[in-house]
Structure 1
Amino acid sequence: MTSPLTFATLSQLDRDGFVAAVGAVFEHSPWVMARVWEKRPFADRAMLRAAMSEVLTGAARAEVLALILAHPELASKAALRGELTADSAREQAGAGLDACTPAELAEIRQLNDAYRDKFGWPFIVAVRGLTRQDIIAAMRRRLQRDADEEFAEARAQVLRIADLRLDPLLSAT
């Protein structure tokens, strides 16, 4: 869709139209918004976000894990090769991850590897508003958590990312 959608319009779309309009907010996982569609109508952003949260909370752990695994690592080789989704590339560039110093890049990659080795999935954080230093600090801090805490945090970050990706798609009314 070229112009932002109102909540009334969004709520009236059939499943395919809804998923086509907003399904990409969850990285390579349109199934989430297909399930969110079942919870319409949405009077406002809060109702839509609550439905998104409800779908993620009610999803099987394996489904959420697949969603988490669909996210790219930060400042990865895939990023350098230009293989990220447009949303991921824009978000990482906005946090300056495309301009890391060699030392920052080495540290982020080492932390990515340690995180994946410990938890089995990529480190995920909604990078909007964060600096490279903020991201590195979060990676260090979150490596100290246990797997259940970090799974819940990764799910919460996926939801935050999707919520932020909705901004340009939705009208304020």
Structure 2
Amino acid sequence: MKAYVIINMKFSVQQVNDFTLEEYMDIFSNIIEHCPKFANILYERKPFRSTNAIILILYEYLESLENEEKRAMLTRHPDLSGKFETTLTKQSNEEQKAAQLNTISEHERKVLLELNSRYRNQFGFPFVVCARENNYNTIIHILQKRLDFTQDEEINNGIGEVKKISTLRILDLVEDENKATSK
């Protein structure tokens, strides 16, 4: 992994347009969890006029997938555990910390793991939620509610959450020119 990823540097859209394929693979291969294919798609679609153009390509890609491909995409995501896991990507660990899942009690962790297990058994893929937009209580509430949905509804809900997660990951890496010009 290159130093520019480790130090959490933000890039301008112009810098992104100038990246090599290798840099795209290093920087963007985990925008969608464990999906280097998306980094390649981005590289093929450059140059970009804006950060929003990159996000639009993300949405188009996710919406173009067949249900089985969406399901496979969801299986790449980790269970929410509230523990620092060496098997999690750096982004997933940070996102779970942002939801303060690393501070929950053992009892709360057991509840979360039990609901995750029920969800995975019912749908065949992990519960996906944008942890950065939630906390333990809202995650538990959403998880309990979504256990009542159908397989197709959950594939769509999960992909909607992947869009949120991936959009935030893009905004972590690429300067949002709308925010930059409004300062």
TM-score by length of 1: 0.89
- Equivalent residue number for residue 136 of structure 1: 140
Percent of matched pairs sharing the same residue:
25
**What is the alpha-carbon distance in structure 2 between the residues aligned to residue 80 and residue 10 of structure 1?**
31
The answer as to 2:21 corresponding to 1:29 is no
Equivalent residue number for residue 170 of structure 2? 166
2:129 corresponds to 1:125: yes
**Partner letter of residue 45 of structure 2?**
K
Q: Which runs of 5+ in 1 are unaligned?
A: none
For 2:133 and 2:66, locate their aligned partners in 1 and report how far apart those are by CA, in whole Å.
31
1:109 to 113, 116, 128: 113
Change (3 A) 1:148 1:88: same
Structure 2: how far apart are the matches of 1:129 and 1:64? 22
Residue 10 of structure 1 corresponds to: 16
Judge conservation of contact 1:7–1:43 (CA < 8 Å) in 2: yes
The normalised TM-score by structure 2 is 0.84
Aligned pairs for 1:71-86 (under 5 A) are 71-75=77-81, 79-86=83-90
C-alpha contact (below 8 Å) 2:85/2:93 kept by paired residues: no
Separation in 2, partners of 1:54, 1:81: 31
Which one is further off, 119-128 or 82-91?
Answer: 82-91
| 1:91 is aligned to 2:133 | no
Shift of 1:112: 0.5
**Aligned equivalent of 1:70, options 76, 80, 89:** 76
1:57 CA displacement: 1.3
What's the RMSD between the two structures over aligned residues? 1.8
| Unmatched runs of 5 consecutive residues or more in structure 2 | 178-183
SS in structure 2 of the partner of residue 128 of structure 1: helix
Aligned length: 171
Query: Cα gap change, 1:17/1:81 in structure 2, threshold over 3 Å: closer, same or farther?
Result: closer
Structure 2 CA distance for aligned equivalents of residues 71 and 57 of structure 1: 18
